[in-house]
Amino acid sequence: MTEETTSPSARKVELLEAAYRYALEHGLAHLSLRPLATAIGSSPRVLVFLFGNKDGLTRALLARARADELAILNHVQGSDDPQAIGLATAVTRLWGWLAGAEHQQLLKLWAETYATSLVEPEGVWGGFAAATVHDWLTVLADCQSTEERDSPEGAGRRTLALAVLRGALLDLLATGDHDRVTAAVHHQLAVFQAPAPAP
């Protein structure tokens, strides 16, 4: 049975997962259909048939990467009341995941995609960076008490938490200096452990 006669939806999912594994290793910014197709046991013609064109495949891969990102964020709340864990616990849990060596391929892909979205805002990458910021701020907001979350100070504190995590992640990816960067994150935890200012 040929690829074309296989159920398109099942084959599309299979090839998307294979292409995603390829993107984790090779990146997305310079993706080319022919080497990708060869690597995942398909052909450019089949990929175009299933995804429309290279941009369609890239959009599907961006959505797949964002799904992984959302899965990471959903784990931060654990089994606790999401409104009770606080920003300090949220930052600690998120950094514990982000700093894991086993997640570096995914995070390098995220960094590449985030940066490309900033320099190509009108293209297929457009909106990815902004959506990522919204995703992270939403999860951090859910970790705040209602009173803190709904205040301007609370918005500032979760924005700072995101800035600390994102900056530390980029530093770690660039240098591999886990101990130094983790120490800096822990230093910032004192800010988030302090009670939020009264509105």
pTM score of the predicted model? 0.82
What b/e string do you get for 31-48 counting C-beta neighbours within 10 Å, with b at 16 or more? Answer: bebeebbeebebeeebbe
- Which pLDDT belongs to residue 91? 93
pLDDT of residue 198: 60
**Distance, CA of 27 to CA of 21 (rounded, Å):** 10
CA quadruple 96, 88, 129, 78: dihedral positive or negative? positive
The tens digit of pLDDT for each residue in 82-123 reads 446 899 999 999 999 999 988 889 899 999 999 999 998 888
Q: What pLDDT is stored for residue 4 in this prediction?
A: 46
pLDDT digits (tens, 9 = 90+) for 38-75: 999 999 999 999 999 999 999 899 889 888 888 877 77
pLDDT for residue 196 is more than 90? no
What is the residue-averaged pLDDT of the chain?
87
Residue 195 — φ and ψ, nearest 5°? Answer: -60, 145
What pLDDT score does 5 carry? 46
Which 3-state string (H, E, C) describes 166-179?
Answer: HHHHHHHHHHCCHH
